[in-house]
């Protein structure tokens, strides 16, 4: 694989993936297609070698732009998405436009061009909540918010293009991901940056919802592993195997940033808030992947990164984000 199209590569996981792939494979060239929504950020790509990384400012729903970007490439890895559950609850149309229609457009381009591999990056949220045990890839999907429903829609279209047209689509379902360059609307970078500033941490509901935390480089290696060793038509779970209640995550962040629990602010719960996510990654493990980062090191490294890179997140938090924050948290009490 020499030429890979990455979509959404100016976002959190996409930019980490581009950096990972360029580091791991000296002969790879990445064509990075990104619309630069509020979550896309060229600052995430500053250190990349322009000889091996071409940035294309385009929407994945633009058929002409995608056909041009994908022409002559060996694979396409789709990260482009509207990705935040709370925003999807406020207004879902962009989620449908990108996560369903945009994916459809990539599939059409792949069908016409005969693209050799199409990897759709998806999420454990498509399964919905599970009280005990962990979901396997053979379990049915049961998404319960507009974001996860739109991701499930994109996945199902992908599988339909595999079965109907033979487009070689592989799907990964990663768990909650954390690490450098994550937009501070998601709980972990939001709480870390608020804690650094001594601002309240708005904890939803009783704080006992459980997420499985996966370090971003482990997620990127998992996606790359499924791309190179996985089979078309197959789905692979990528788990952090590191489940924590939100209150435990919050307390850890407060300890690591030297703050006390008075900063915790219980607020009104998210509507339809999934209680627990848990997935079984034994299928990808059987192909030789495993998560490597342990929780204590991952959280320490991540907090250090946000401390050392205030230039990166202060710019974000003083822009459009302020309006969003007011709208999202203003009425939560
Ligand atoms: P992100 O919001 O940080 O980045 C998304 C990127 O996609 C941005 O650069 C944005 O500009 C771009 N984009 C959005 N709409 C686009 C469009 N129409 N055309 C082109 N580019 C567009 O998201 P992320 O957290 O990096 O997530 C990346 C992918 O991984 C998503 O598909 C998401 O569903 C999936 N995922 C995320 C997590 C997580 O915890 N963050 C976990 C599992 C799966
Ligand atoms: P989030 O980072 O939005 O990811 P997801 O909803 O995709 O799992 O939220 C992670 C968990 O943190 C989820 O249970 C909701 C909770 N949460 C809060 O308690 N407060 C917040 O301000 C946010 C953004 C999330």
260-288 tens-digit pLDDT: 999 999 999 999 999 999 999 999 999 99
Task: Report d(CA 13, CA 6) in Å as an integer.
Answer: 11
The answer, yes or no, to whether residue 332 has pLDDT greater than 90, is no
Position 226 pLDDT exceeds 80: yes
Q: What is the mean pLDDT of residues 233-259?
A: 98
Query: 76-116 pLDDT, tens per residue?
Result: 999 999 999 999 999 999 999 999 999 999 999 999 999 99
Catalytic residues: 124-125, 147
Q: What domains are there in the chain, each with its CATH number? A: 3-177+215-238 (3.40.50.720)
What average pLDDT does this structure show over 176-203? 98
pLDDT value at position 105?
98
**Residue of 80, 88, 97 to test ligand 1 pocket, by largest number of atoms within 8 Å of CB:** 80
Q: What is the Cα–Cα distance from 175 to 215, expressed in whole angstroms?
A: 9
User: What pLDDT does residue 303 have?
Assistant: 98
Cβ-Cβ contacts under 8 Å for 251 (sequence gap 6 or more): 261
**Distances 284 to 25, 51, 177, 216 between C-alpha atoms, Å:** 21, 32, 17, 16
Specify the pLDDT at position 237: 99
Report the distance separating Cα 269 and Cα 86, nearest Å: 11
Per-residue confidence (pLDDT) for residue 326, from 0 to 100: 95
Task: Find out whether the beta carbon of 249 lies less than 6 Å from any atom of ligand 2.
Answer: no
pLDDT recorded at residue 121:
99
Q: What is the pLDDT of residue 84?
A: 98
Could you tell me the distance, in angstroms and rounded to a whole number, from the CA of residue 101 to the centre of ligand 1?
15
Residue 8 has pLDDT above 80, yes or no: yes
Let me know: does 119 contact 130? Beta carbons within 8 Å. Answer: no
**Cα–Cα nearest to 86, from 266, 272, 279:** 272
Structure tokens at 4: 């890979």
Reported confidence tier of residue 66, pLDDT bands at 50, 70, 90: very high
Give dist(CA 230, CA 238) in Å, integer. Answer: 12
Q: Whose CA is nearest to atom 24 of ligand 2?
A: 187
Cβ proximity of 5 and 31 under 8 Å: yes
Tokens of 60: 């994945």
**Any ligand 2 atom below 6 A from CB of 187:** yes
d(CA 172, CA 186): 20
Query: Does the pLDDT at position 316 exceed 80?
Result: yes
In this predicted model, what pLDDT tens digit does every residue of 103-150 receive, in sequence order?
A: 999 999 999 999 999 999 999 999 999 999 999 999 999 999 999 999
pLDDT at 249 over 90: yes
Distance CA 310, CA 303 (A): 11
Whether pLDDT at 223 is above 80: yes
User: What's the pTM value of the predicted model, to 2 decimals?
Assistant: 0.98
**Structure confidence at residue 1 (pLDDT):** 85
Residue 333 scores a pLDDT above 80: no
pLDDT tens-place string over residues 70-81: 999 999 999 999
> Which pLDDT value is given to residue 319?
84
Among 7, 9, 16, 37, which residue has the most ligand 1 atoms within 8 Å of its CB, making it the best to mutate?
37
Cβ 212 under 6 angstroms from ligand 1: no
């Amino acid at each position: 694989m020499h030429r890979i199209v990455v979509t959404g590569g100016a976002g959190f996981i996409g930019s980490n993936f581009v950096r990972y792939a360029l580091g791991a494979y000296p002969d790879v060239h990445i064509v990075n297609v990104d619309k630069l929504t509020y979550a896309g950020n060229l600052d995430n790509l500053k250190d990349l070698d322009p000889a091996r990384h071409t940035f294309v400012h385009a929407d994945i729903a633009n058929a002409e732009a995608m056909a041009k970007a994908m022409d002559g490439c060996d694979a396409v890895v789709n990260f482009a998405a509207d990705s935040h559950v709370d925003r999807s609850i406020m207004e879902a149309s962009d989620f449908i436009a990108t996560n369903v229609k945009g994916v459809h457009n990539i599939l059409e381009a792949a069908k016409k061009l005969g693209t050799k591999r199409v990897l759709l990056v998806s999420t454990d949220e498509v399964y919905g909540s599970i009280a005990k045990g962990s979901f396997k890839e053979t379990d049915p999907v049961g998404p319960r918010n507009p974001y996860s429903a739109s991701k499930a829609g994109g996945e199902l279209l992908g599988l339909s293009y595999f079965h109907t047209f033979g487009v070689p689509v592989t799907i990964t379902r990663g768990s909650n991901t954390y690490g450098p360059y994550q937009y501070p609307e998601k709980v972990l970078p939001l709480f870390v940056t608020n804690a650094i500033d001594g601002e309240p941490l708005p904890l939803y509901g009783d704080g006992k919802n459980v997420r499985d935390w996966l370090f971003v480089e482990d997620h990127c290696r998992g996606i790359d592993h499924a791309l190179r060793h996985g089979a078309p038509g197959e789905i692979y779970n990528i788990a952090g195997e590191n489940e924590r209640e939100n209150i435990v995550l919050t307390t850890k962040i407060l300890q690591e940033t030297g703050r006390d629990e008075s900063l915790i602010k219980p607020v009104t719960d998210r509507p339809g808030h999934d209680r627990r996510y848990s997935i079984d990654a034994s299928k990808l493990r059987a192909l030789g992947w495993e998560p490597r980062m342990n929780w204590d090191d991952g959280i320490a490294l991540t907090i250090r990164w946000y401390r050392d890179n205030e230039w990166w997140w202060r710019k974000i938090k003083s822009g459009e984000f302020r309006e969003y924050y007011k709208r999202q948290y203003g009425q939560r009490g």
